Amino acid sequence: AQSVAQPEDQVNVAEGNPLTVKCTYSVSGNPYLFWYVQYPNRGLQFLLKYITGDNLVKGSYGFEAEFNKSQTSFHLKKPSALVSDSALYFCAVRGGFKTIFGAGTRLFVKA
Interface positions with another protein (CB under 8 A): 32, 34, 36, 38, 41-46, 49, 51, 88, 90, 92, 94, 96-101, 103-104
Provide the minimum distance between the beta carbon of 26 and another protein in the complex, in angstroms, as a whole number.
17
Provide the minimum distance between the beta carbon of 41 and another protein in the complex, in angstroms, as a whole number.
7
Cα separations (Å) of 28 from 2, 32, 56, 90, 94? 7, 11, 21, 20, 10
Using the minimum distance from each CB to another protein, give the nearer residue, 13 or 33: 33
Using the minimum distance from each CB to another protein, give the nearer residue, 81 or 93: 93
